[in-house]
A and B are shown apart, each in its own frame.
Chain A
Amino acid sequence: MFLFFSGNTVEEQNEHYEYLTVGKGRNRKVVQAEVQTVPILKKTQNTDAEKIKTHADYAFASIWEMYDTFQETLGEGGEDSEDSDSSDIKHHKLDDITSLDSYRISPDEKQLNKLMKNPRFLEAVCVIERLLANNCYNEQQKRFRGLSDPYVFREDIEYKYKLNLLWTFANSSTQVQPERQYAFEEPVTALNFSKHNPNLLAIGFNTGYIVVLNVISREPLIVGDNMPTFEPVWHISWEAGYFEHSNRELICATFSDGRICVHALARKLKAQQIMRVPKTDGKLKGYNSMRKCTNLTVPVSRYSSPYLLTSHPAHKQIYFIGTNEGTIHKCSTNYFNQHLDSFCAHDGPVHSMRFSPFSKKIFVTCGDDWNTRFWAEDISEPILEIFVNMQSVHGLEWSPAHATIFVSIRGSSILVWDLQRKIYEPQSATPSPTGSRNTVVQFTESGRCLVVGDIDGNVHMFSLEDMPFIPFFQENLLFESLYRALITYPKILKKLKKVRRAVQMST
């Protein structure tokens, strides 16, 4: 076909084009011209749509749900839900890491394991254990709290001074778990709760490290600690009123190298040494101790090791230190590194020194030389000496309810003494239920119950039964009993009477 496109046809086409666009053909009529559009063929078709499933549902908004929603919009609830989501994610991650086992553990166990970490679950377990114990030991707990005292007007009253075992906390027992358990690497040698903030516990270790914990949390929450000094801490206590300008509580600690330091509660406890306990030579007043056969001219250490620290009940700034050599030093916080007075109390370490709760002048000490000695503050020799058998007296405590009753522990027995009746023999001797050597004894505040701890880690709780009635004039009774006991020692009796008159004149 292209063969027929000669130059003539092309020329003719070009002329035609020009005629139509530029020439006379431009004004031709186009009204009558017909045009045809391409027909589009249509067809109807059906399709299927899925039915939208509807389900009748309801929402119930009670007063507290509305309250909860309000709380959330205030911003607190939002954070809580975020936290729980992230903790869920964390838990899932942990499970994935140990994924070898996670396929074998059923989802129930996984949920249980997650619950174990929930602190609310642990608290619920704690509360349930308390209630379970209460259901079984209801009577004993009532006795301990002082809610069910024995009937005062019963007819057959006998003074038997019995000790009734209420319950025992034992280390190995699976029944009772301690509510808080803190594990440390070094041995703990001393601990004490604060009197101003009872949730703070000060702990002293064998290495001289002191830590203050807040017992509100289950994990050890360290509030303050110090630099360890590598000497065991023998005694730690919270004392207030040591210095006149502040009534703040200070942590007072005694170390085995003879130093006594006070620390103010801070993140890093700084020690301020208030006393260094020297070894004493020569003859001291007090107990006539035996001469020691040492011919050392230069001792190993010039300082002796303080085992205990007791504050004077009347003067807050005076405190007494009992050492492992048996001497007791009287020191004051106003004079650092010096002692006001000292006397020899025992032949061996002094274990306990207690002032009578009813008289600020009388105190009693006990030590490893098998003796218990009574002293009055202005008399330089012991008033009374009690010896039962050749066993070290490990602790003693005055009864806070009776002026003349005190309890001492020697070996595995607990002895209850009453100065009013006889001094050469205890009123009652109770052997420890587990037969182990007792180390510490303390009365409860009402004087009705006694706690005894022993060397195997058991803590026994006793209640005192069949005790005499509480006297009205406690201090009077105490002094009268001491007079009666000192009939054969007229010189000491005279001195004691003078002390008593001084006390009476000052009140």
Chain B
Amino acid sequence: MANEVDETMKRIQSHKGVVGTIVVNSEGVPIKSTLDNTTTVQYAGLISSLADKARSVVRDLDPSNDLTFLRIRSKKHEIMVAPDKEFILIVVQNPTD
């Protein structure tokens, strides 16, 4: 069981340019991360609230719609967020171009 988890995280982490991967549970507490503690807690807190806000934007515009994915491109990184009722999966990548 623990092997599957590690394997999946290693797979994502081994893609070119991936800086870190964080899995956050439904209460907003990070349960698995490849980054150091302070950064993890920061990312988890900020991204959770941003994902919630994005979700309420989508649903306010059309209640039958729902947020599936969120990508934030910045000058240095790209943050990919897969939000869900029970988890939030956050991956930070450094695209090469």
Chain A residues with CB under 8 Å of chain B are: 62-64, 66-68, 105, 108-109, 111-113, 115-116, 118, 120-121, 124-125, 127-129, 131-133, 135-136, 138, 174-175, 177
Given contacts A67-B63, A108-B32, A175-B14, contact A128 B25 (CB under 8 A): no
Residues in chain A near residue B69, CB distance under 8 A: 127
Task: Flag if B12 contacts A64 (CB, 8 Å).
Answer: no
Task: Flag if B14 contacts A124 (CB, 8 Å).
Answer: no
Task: Flag if A129 contacts B31 (CB, 8 Å).
Answer: no
Task: Flag if B8 contacts A116 (CB, 8 Å).
Answer: yes
Minimum Cβ distance to chain A for residue B62 (Å): 9
Task: Flag if B1 contacts A175 (CB, 8 Å).
Answer: no
Task: Flag if A64 contacts B82 (CB, 8 Å).
Answer: no
Task: Flag if B12 contacts A132 (CB, 8 Å).
Answer: yes
Quick one: CB contact mask for B22-49 with A, threshold 8 Å, 1 for yes?
0101000101100000000000000000
Residues in chain A near residue B84, CB distance under 8 A: 120-121, 124
Task: Flag if A118 contacts B93 (CB, 8 Å).
Answer: no
Minimum Cβ distance to chain B for residue A71 (Å): 9
Find A128's partner among B4, B5, B80, B86 (CB 8 Å cutoff): B80
Measured CA separation A326–B32 after assembly (Å): 59
CB closest chain-B residue, reference A64:
B59
Task: Flag if B11 contacts A174 (CB, 8 Å).
Answer: yes
Task: Flag if B17 contacts A136 (CB, 8 Å).
Answer: yes
Chain B residues with CB under 8 Å of chain A are: 1-2, 4-5, 8, 10-12, 14-18, 23, 25, 29, 31-32, 56, 59-60, 63-64, 69, 71, 78, 80, 82, 84, 86-87, 89, 91, 93, 95-97
Task: Flag if A115 contacts B15 (CB, 8 Å).
Answer: no
Residues in chain A near residue B18, CB distance under 8 A: 132
CB closest chain-B residue, reference A138:
B97
Q: For chains A and B in complex, what number of residue pairs have CB atoms within 8 angstroms?
A: 96
Task: Flag if B89 contacts A64 (CB, 8 Å).
Answer: no
Measured CA separation A67–B59 after assembly (Å): 10
Main DSSP-derived SS at the B contact region: mixed
Q: Which residue of A111, A127, A132 has the most chain B CB atoms within 10 A of its CB atom?
A: A132
Task: Flag if A132 contacts B89 (CB, 8 Å).
Answer: no
- Given A67-B63, A112-B5, A116-B5, 16 more A-B residue pairs with CB atoms under 8 Å apart are A108-B29, A109-B31, A112-B23, A112-B31, A113-B2, A118-B86, A120-B84, A124-B82, A124-B89, A131-B71, A132-B12, A135-B93, A136-B96, A174-B11, A175-B15, A175-B16
Measured CA separation A115–B87 after assembly (Å): 8
Q: Which residue of A63, A66, A127, A128 has the most chain B CB atoms within 10 A of its CB atom?
A: A128
Task: Flag if A63 contacts B59 (CB, 8 Å).
Answer: yes
Residues in chain B near residue A136, CB distance under 8 A: 15-17, 95-96
Minimum Cβ distance to chain B for residue A29 (Å): 88
Given contacts A109-B2, A135-B95, contact A64 B63 (CB under 8 A): yes
Measured CA separation A136–B78 after assembly (Å): 12
Task: Flag if B12 contacts A129 (CB, 8 Å).
Answer: yes
23 residue pairs of the A-B complex, CB under 8 angstroms, read A62-B60, A66-B63, A108-B25, A109-B5, A111-B31, A112-B5, A112-B32, A115-B23, A115-B86, A115-B87, A120-B86, A121-B86, A125-B82, A125-B89, A128-B80, A128-B89, A133-B15, A135-B17, A136-B16, A136-B95, A138-B97, A174-B14, A175-B14
Given contacts A115-B86, A125-B12, contact A132 B5 (CB under 8 A): no
Measured CA separation A66–B64 after assembly (Å): 11
Task: Flag if A132 contacts B15 (CB, 8 Å).
Answer: yes
CB closest chain-B residue, reference A124:
B82
Measured CA separation A125–B7 after assembly (Å): 12
Given contacts A62-B59, A113-B1, A135-B93, contact A129 B17 (CB under 8 A): no
Measured CA separation A109–B78 after assembly (Å): 27
Given contacts A113-B2, A124-B89, contact A108 B31 (CB under 8 A): yes
Closest 8 CB pairs of A and B: A124-B82, A64-B59, A67-B63, A108-B31, A64-B63, A132-B15, A135-B95, A136-B16
Residues in chain B near residue A125, CB distance under 8 A: 8, 12, 82, 89
Minimum Cβ distance to chain B for residue A114 (Å): 9
Minimum Cβ distance to chain A for residue B42 (Å): 18
Residues in chain A near residue B17, CB distance under 8 A: 132, 135-136
Task: Flag if A128 contacts B91 (CB, 8 Å).
Answer: yes
CB closest chain-B residue, reference A174:
B14
Find B60's partner among A63, A115, A121, A177 (CB 8 Å cutoff): A63
Residues in chain B near residue A66, CB distance under 8 A: 63
Task: Flag if A132 contacts B91 (CB, 8 Å).
Answer: yes
Residues in chain B near residue A112, CB distance under 8 A: 5, 23, 31-32
Measured CA separation A125–B10 after assembly (Å): 12
Minimum Cβ distance to chain A for residue B1 (Å): 5
Measured CA separation A124–B85 after assembly (Å): 12
Minimum Cβ distance to chain A for residue B26 (Å): 9
CB closest chain-A residue, reference B65:
A64
Residues in chain B near residue A132, CB distance under 8 A: 12, 15-18, 80, 91, 93
Task: Flag if B95 contacts A177 (CB, 8 Å).
Answer: no
Task: Flag if B25 contacts A111 (CB, 8 Å).
Answer: yes
Residues in chain A near residue B63, CB distance under 8 A: 63-64, 66-68
CB closest chain-B residue, reference A106:
B31
Residues in chain B near residue A113, CB distance under 8 A: 1-2, 5
Task: Flag if B12 contacts A128 (CB, 8 Å).
Answer: yes
Find B64's partner among A67, A115, A131, A133 (CB 8 Å cutoff): A67
